[in-house]
Amino acid sequence: MPFVIENKEFTCSVCGSSSSHDIIAEQDEFCGAPDLDLRPAGKQRSIMKYWAMECPCCGYCCTTLDMPFSGEREFFQTTDYKTCGGILTSDETAVKLMKRALVFIEEHNYRDAVRSYLAAAWALDDDGNEFAAKQSRMAAVALMDDHPAAFKNSSDYQLLKADMLRRCGEFDRVVREFEDKTYPSQLMTAIAFFEVYLASSKDQAAHPIDEIPGVTAVE
């Protein structure tokens, strides 16, 4: 069993109402190498539905509902929030993760917003919704483009961006932006080199990280 689920009561920090949600109580098994964008492998991917919860009363979405929200409650009534910024899907996990991304943006927390959009894209990949997955990845890329200060000296996020662009078919941009960059570790340099190689080959597919020559994923 890769993880143990527990049902727990949470009090919403926005509206004060209580609701019960499943959370991951234990998680310990290694199920294979993650993808280049750190998407969990195989069975571990089913944990994604526990990465965000939604308040049934006010609509607040966050990692856990007891986390404070610095914005206004009216935000959850906006069309933009209710429609996930116009990205159409009926996949509940993707909806919660995209709403969580919008919550993070409202709080100017752009780094967590990028991670949440990326996780939503994984859920949309698994749902077979290629168009919405691309929209979610490009929303994350746009956040990085619009708020460069939040991602300055963050090689890990730059590599995620390379993978998101490549998965969206933006091959020329990957080659242009990542071809001659240097990174603080050999692993990062190897990942960047591999991304540019895949983009040059017009390869849009997901690849596990241990496909890179010389890289082994360990527990």
Least distance between Zn ion and beta carbon 45 (Å): 28
CB-based contact 41:122 (threshold 8 Å) = no
Cα–Cα distance for residue pair 92/216, rounded to 1 Å:
34
Would you say 100 or 167 has its CB closer to Zn ion?
100
Q: Does 60 bind Zn ion (CB under 5 A)?
A: yes
Cα–Cα distance for residue pair 97/189, rounded to 1 Å:
30
Least distance between Zn ion and beta carbon 19 (Å): 8
Q: Does 58 bind Zn ion (CB under 5 A)?
A: yes
Would you say 65 or 174 has its CB closer to Zn ion?
65
Among the residue ranges 60-68, 88-96, 114-122, 161-169, the one whose residues contact Zn ion (CB under 5 A): 60-68
- Give burial (CB, 10 Å; 0-12/13-18/19+) of 180: exposed
Q: Does 15 bind Zn ion (CB under 5 A)?
A: yes
Write out the two tokens for 62: 């966050």
Pick from 73, 121, 78: which is nearest to 97 by CA? 121
Q: Does 76 bind Zn ion (CB under 5 A)?
A: no
Would you say 11 or 83 has its CB closer to Zn ion?
11
Choose which of 10, 12, 100, 175 interacts with Zn ion (CB under 5 A).
12
Residue 155, CA distances (Å) to 55, 70, 120 in order: 34, 28, 22
Cα–Cα distance for residue pair 137/87, rounded to 1 Å:
11
Would you say 14 or 97 has its CB closer to Zn ion?
14
Number of residues lying near Zn ion (CB under 5 A): 7
- H helices then E strands: how many in the chain? 7, 4
- Give burial (CB, 10 Å; 0-12/13-18/19+) of 137: buried
Least distance between Zn ion and beta carbon 78 (Å): 15
Choose which of 10, 14, 48, 168 interacts with Zn ion (CB under 5 A).
14
Cα–Cα distance for residue pair 159/37, rounded to 1 Å:
8
Q: Does 55 bind Zn ion (CB under 5 A)?
A: yes
Choose which of 31, 57, 67, 187 interacts with Zn ion (CB under 5 A).
57
Among the residue ranges 40-48, 50-58, 77-85, 191-199, the one whose residues contact Zn ion (CB under 5 A): 50-58
Would you say 65 or 133 has its CB closer to Zn ion?
65
| Residue 161: strand pairing partners | none
Among the residue ranges 9-17, 142-150, 162-170, 203-211, the one whose residues contact Zn ion (CB under 5 A): 9-17
Chain residues in the site for Zn ion (CB under 5 A): 12, 14-15, 55, 57-58, 60
